[in-house]
Amino acid sequence: MTDLLPDLLHGPDPDPATMAALHARLVAEASHRDLLDVAFTTLDSPVGPLLVAATAEGLVRVAFEAEGHDRVLDDLGRLVSPRVLRAPARLGAVTRELDEYFAGRRHDFDVAVDLRLATGFRRRVLTHLRDVAYGSTSSYSSLAAASGSPGAVRAVGTACATNPVPVVVPCHRVVRSDGSIGQYRGGPAAKRVLLDLERVV
């Protein structure tokens, strides 16, 4: 005789709506008890799907698809806290501001940024990056000078290439002195899209 009992006990898979409701309840209770250390969500954009993640202090990571979103989440789990949950509501302001930016309706971001993933000189460079205005560009060498180390042009390049919050902290506005576009965490094509977007408006 076929043994059906284990299958019957197993039952059908819990339906996705049930699991989604349980997940939402977990997020709400975790937030309430300060157990949600890293909230993340994903959104579509002209530069492809973006993963955005925030701590209680602010936006901690923006990641392009090419970086591998799973790997980025693993890194966040390792470097910030393993208490990571998908929680779109916690990122409502971030996704709204990004949508406005990509629609050309926003030039500056108001959301708080948590730069804990950048330290030392790199962090200093990112702070100065926020002074490069929408629609303008800077060069690696002038950013090096602004950061107090005129000789550290390569280090500035590294700081831009490892910017944990691209788009919001505008490393795409830093181009090479010879006029070529230079490297970008999201790839040169994404950098081109962002520069064109800002030029059109």
Which one of residues 50, 60, 73, 144 is an interface residue with other proteins (CB under 8 A)?
73
Q: Of the candidates 114, 113, 92, 95, which has an alpha carbon nearest to the alpha carbon of residue 103? A: 95
71 counts as binding other proteins under rule CB under 8 A: no
Residue of 39, 171, 194, 197 with catalytic role: 171
35 counts as binding other proteins under rule CB under 8 A: yes
Structure tokens at 68: 């591998």
18 counts as binding other proteins under rule CB under 8 A: yes
171 is catalytic: yes
52 counts as binding other proteins under rule CB under 8 A: no
Contact call for residues 95 and 40 (beta carbons, < 8 A): no
Per-residue x/- marks for other proteins, 76-115, CB under 8 A? xxx--xxxxxx-----------------------------
Cα separation, 74 vs 92, whole angstroms? 23
Structure tokens at 129: 């990056």
Contact call for residues 198 and 46 (beta carbons, < 8 A): no
Pick the closer one to other proteins by CB: 78 or 178. Answer: 78
Residue holding tokens 């330290």?
Answer: 119
Cβ 107 to other proteins shortest distance, Å: 33
142-145: long-range contacts, CB 8 A cutoff, minimum separation 24: 143/174
Max Cα distance, the chain (Å)? 81
Pick the closer one to other proteins by CB: 81 or 177. Answer: 81
12 counts as binding other proteins under rule CB under 8 A: yes
Residue holding tokens 């700081």?
Answer: 159
Residues annotated as catalytic (active site), given as ranges: 171
Q: Which residues bind other proteins (CB under 8 A)?
A: 1-2, 4-6, 8-14, 18-19, 22-23, 25-26, 29-30, 33, 35, 38, 40, 73-74, 76-78, 81-86
